Structure 1
């Protein structure tokens, strides 16, 4: 029998309980067909000598933002600023670069991303100072959480922001004199997005290509984009079309599962009735193994970092503030139920425990009605989740897709905002394992760094930047963390039984590593090198030259 590829002299961690390890595997038509001694007698078009390297199933990020991340690679980077002075310096350098470009537009916006107020002592940029740094050009600073942004004074003037604007589920922040500071929270970001978006198709395709190159170098073979097409998180009403274009041009290096945001769904007439969705009846699951329409993303609340996640108790820094929902609760419930009845799986963004409670109530109603989703329903983030809520989610069989690197990047701030008791019950991981729910590997990139091996290390250590252990009882073992980024993500995204393992019949998606993440010291997991990445057995990244040809 002739096969496409045989990888030999490898230490393969298959993630298959029946055969957890092997030294060889064979690939035919993009799928694993044999392991170990079963490869004997097979003739391969390509033989890859792994030289004793570790081979694992390709990593699968179940919640990232590929278009958003790709754009950050093309925008002014404000991550890890050492203070406001450095932030203003980076804006000034961007303005200078813009002035040196041919046919420079003096009124062109400077768009910057990656800002986190924890880097600047909790103080936000001043609108007038942004004006001075930018030489009068308008500035749009995107908060790393995605739940707020800052607009310069010149920008506010161009947008007509005067502080009288009112939003359901959002806020134009005012100073003590009642003047807008430039800080826009949640849905109030529409004030700037409505003017500077949509992004062009070429820009979105370029962003996807930039993101994909990073993904491949990190061992990622599958990514779920958690919100495109509309709302404050989208970049264009044609984002899914841009994904199709990128696929046609060979620019998608990973399998992609974009989620549409709930804002794009409409009540579509159907005879004397209506359904909640898109004309034509499109729904979750459309597509194939390279590009598939995922669940619909429903925002129920905000973020802990922005103090906008809806909590039953107030924030420690502002006890009267409980955060807020992203809209009228009954309207949100009705839209979610209608979408699910029309065939959409629900991915409900719920960070505070009250928002998690709302999500559980929606899931109970769907269970009572016998509505079954085409892909798994899920809760995104699950910032603060009570034991009672966790038990009910286990009964419902609905996973929480949490992001362990949040704890390294923002854990000290979270602790200050919600206190130690709630911190111990937030971004739970080991509790999901004990409850029998899949744990999915997830980063929320670019909200936080997304290199899978670094995220795995964060799940094992749960250390904040200051070294505090954030919920010791929620630590995963290294083996559990690896399983999360392979089997767990496949199950949470509806691909269990088809990807996430290296076993006959599974997609031949794999990463070749310089060391075994389940055996090294936990503090070294994030430093393991990715030697090569393959999707369907074909290389997408090959730093070590194992496959003998240029990667896609």
Structure 2
């Protein structure tokens, strides 16, 4: 296809000929026979966005799940009313997501039995790592005698007993295409080869248009109550021995410290990653830089959960939350993501959060960690295998592009996904705004 009258971020006005790869970028290119033409009409064309840490199946399932986060339910009575009015899915379950203890305290099977209908109910913590099932739900997965109903998401010994409902991957894909997203890195842990093949087949058949890269089996979630340095070193060594990288989930200072220690002992692979780095103490910044590993982080949580951080996290630790500028200044390779569905999934909102770092209530959290708009955009322009290296619109680059109706100056001023008018994946139009 040929994209005409495009503005690039550097201010050049060009035409772009592309298939699976961009083949020409020049002025006044003539359409070839049977070549489709897209008129950018002076709008900006950038490489398609890549969201570097998402959970694809969870995001698709979340679209028709009951949301019970702090924005939706205020207290125990609100939660009980929401569950009582929830629609039971075709699989016989009520599936709820986004829960935080500030709503109605810590959940277990007994408290959930008093709040929920007698049908199977499962509620996911907003961190994504924990589900709480009521007694009916525990019986449905063969765990009627479980003491508290609190089950880890990554534990397939219970989740494989669930009747898998079809998830709307095509609806998720269309929504992401509307943001200009052309690639995803799935960070779901413990995926087996069958899970990966299914997603690849969905991509081939067009139900999931975005290119998908998988961190599994090299993704590891850590839990503070069971940190084991020797085991983490052994696992990392085994991965590296197979010339494979690791990606380690670090949302607490303790998890980050033990990950740094493990990577220092095991050595590093060029593609090793630290996921989230939600809390980075001052003395860890230089240690991460010395390792040379990439950090994939989510400043969107400042905009989504920042007011709660201000309440729950001691004030002297606020500068450690969701760092960005200090990591970049230290020479650490960094890429951004949304952590969808645990984050909202809009990469443009994540960029704005990186620039402004405003909480929902309007406070600034971590002013020193703000970056400029071009940096925020670049951190979504890497590839799956080189997340910290932004792509450009140039010959030889992939034919994955985002067309916006605004000038480069307006794009960087607003960072607003509503300006996306077309998304091109592999040289084909995956999304085109109709109104």
Residue matched to 1:12? 8
Matched, 1:139 2:121: yes
Q: Distance in 1 between matches of 2:412 and 2:177?
A: 25
Residue matched to 2:105? 123
Q: 1:433 to 1:421 in 2, by over 3 A?
A: same
Q: 1:298 to 1:131 in 2, by over 3 A?
A: closer
Residue matched to 2:51? 61
Question: Any idea what the Cα deviations from partners look like across 1:98-145, whole Å, max 9, x if unmatched?
Answer: 6xx7xxx8xx33222232344x2x635675675466541121111221
Q: Distance in 1 between matches of 2:412 and 2:396?
A: 33
Deviation at residue 200 of structure 1 after TM alignment? 6.7
Match of 1:528 among 393, 401, 418: 418
Residue matched to 1:194? 157
Match of 2:428 among 538, 544, 547: 538
Q: 1:328 to 1:415 in 2, by over 3 A?
A: same
Query: May I ask how many residue pairs the two structures share in their alignment?
Result: 430
Deviation at residue 403 of structure 1 after TM alignment? 0.3
Matched, 1:259 2:176: no
Deviation at residue 476 of structure 1 after TM alignment? 1.1
Q: Distance in 2 between matches of 1:502 and 1:358?
A: 40
Matched, 1:226 2:187: yes
Q: Distance in 1 between matches of 2:161 and 2:181?
A: 28
Q: CA RMSD in A?
A: 2.9
Q: Which secondary structure does the structure 1 equivalent of 2:2 belong to?
A: strand
CA contact (8 A) 2:11 2:408 kept: no
Q: Distance in 2 between matches of 1:467 and 1:518?
A: 25
In structure 2, runs of 5+ residues without a counterpart are none
Question: Any idea what the Cα deviations from partners look like across 1:186-224, whole Å, max 9, x if unmatched?
Answer: 47x84xx63442667873xx4433322221121100110
Deviation at residue 394 of structure 1 after TM alignment? 2.0
Deviation at residue 63 of structure 1 after TM alignment? 0.6
Q: Which secondary structure does the structure 2 equivalent of 1:43 belong to?
A: coil
Deviation at residue 439 of structure 1 after TM alignment? 2.7
Q: Distance in 2 between matches of 1:61 and 1:141?
A: 26
Indicate the larger mover: 239-248 or 468-477: 239-248
Matched, 1:43 2:56: no
List aligned pairs for 1:28-39, cutoff 5 A. Answer: 28-37=18-27, 39=28
Q: Which secondary structure does the structure 1 equivalent of 2:215 belong to?
A: strand
Q: Distance in 1 between matches of 2:50 and 2:350?
A: 12
List aligned pairs for 1:378-417, cutoff 5 A. Answer: 378-417=273-312
Q: Distance in 1 between matches of 2:146 and 2:164?
A: 32
Q: Which secondary structure does the structure 2 equivalent of 1:81 belong to?
A: coil
Residue matched to 2:196? 240
Indicate the larger mover: 57-66 or 387-396: 387-396
Match of 1:112 among 89, 96, 99: 96
Matched, 1:431 2:392: no
Deviation at residue 495 of structure 1 after TM alignment? 6.4
CA contact (8 A) 2:354 2:371 kept: yes
Q: Which secondary structure does the structure 1 equivalent of 2:392 belong to?
A: coil
Q: Which secondary structure does the structure 2 equivalent of 1:528 belong to?
A: helix
Matched, 1:71 2:61: yes
Deviation at residue 237 of structure 1 after TM alignment? 6.4
Q: Distance in 2 between matches of 1:199 and 1:136?
A: 17
Indicate the larger mover: 462-471 or 23-32: 23-32
Matched, 1:500 2:391: yes
Q: Distance in 1 between matches of 2:54 and 2:337?
A: 7
Structure possessing the higher radius of gyration over alpha carbons = 1
CA contact (8 A) 1:201 1:238 kept: no
List aligned pairs for 1:326-475, cutoff 5 A. Answer: 326-367=226-267, 372-373=269-270, 376-475=271-370
Q: Which secondary structure does the structure 1 equivalent of 2:327 belong to?
A: helix
CA contact (8 A) 1:91 1:130 kept: no
Q: Which secondary structure does the structure 2 equivalent of 1:493 belong to?
A: coil
User: What TM-score do the two structures reach when normalised by structure 2?
Assistant: 0.88
Match of 2:373 among 461, 475, 478: 478
In structure 1, runs of 5+ residues without a counterpart are 14-19, 164-179, 262-295, 302-323, 546-552
Deviation at residue 248 of structure 1 after TM alignment? 3.3
Matched, 1:211 2:172: yes
Q: 1:334 to 1:518 in 2, by over 3 A?
A: farther
Q: Which secondary structure does the structure 1 equivalent of 2:17 belong to?
A: strand
